[in-house]
Amino acid sequence: MLEIERKFLVHGPALDLPKKHKRLEQAYLMRMDGRSLRVRRIENKYILTLKIGSGKVREEVEQRLEREDGKMLMGQALEAPIKKKRYEIKVGGKLWEIDVFDGENKGLVLAEIELKHPDEDFPHPSWLRREVTGDRRFHNSSLATYPISAWRGDFEAMLAKE
């Protein structure tokens, strides 16, 4: 399935998060140029995802896993899983997924929107900041190996400019 996604930093007090959220953990089993294989736990469900490509448009294949298989694969990950809370907010009829990271990526808040085509127009809520769609530092696969804690000073300087 083709995935068309845009990703933005969220920073500042303008965002009012709903109370309802899902807890996510995701870990990478394979990572190479333009490809990744991850296992994700959303609450008590596990999903295996292969992503191919880079930038706004990528191929994505997902497969639901049995709980035992998901746990086993999480244990085989290349590094510790990324932990985050995911909130959903609708703006102008479009669904935004807001990820509030924890652990080594604490302080990072990203907003993602999936689109039907790369040039689709969409609402830009006031809480959006810099677009980071093409910035590899903010890909989850990169955050697993090079978390915000490893470059906290540069990250905070970036936020201060927003």
Any idea which residues carry the catalytic annotation? 28
- Picking from 125, 121, 93, the residue whose alpha carbon sits closest to that of residue 109 is 125
Residue where the block lists tokens 């300087």: 157
In three-state form (DSSP H/G/I as H, E/B as E, the rest C), the secondary structure along 43-109 is CCEEEEEEEECCCCEEEEEEEEECHHHHHHHHHCCCCCCEEEEEEEEEECCEEEEEEEECHHHCCCE
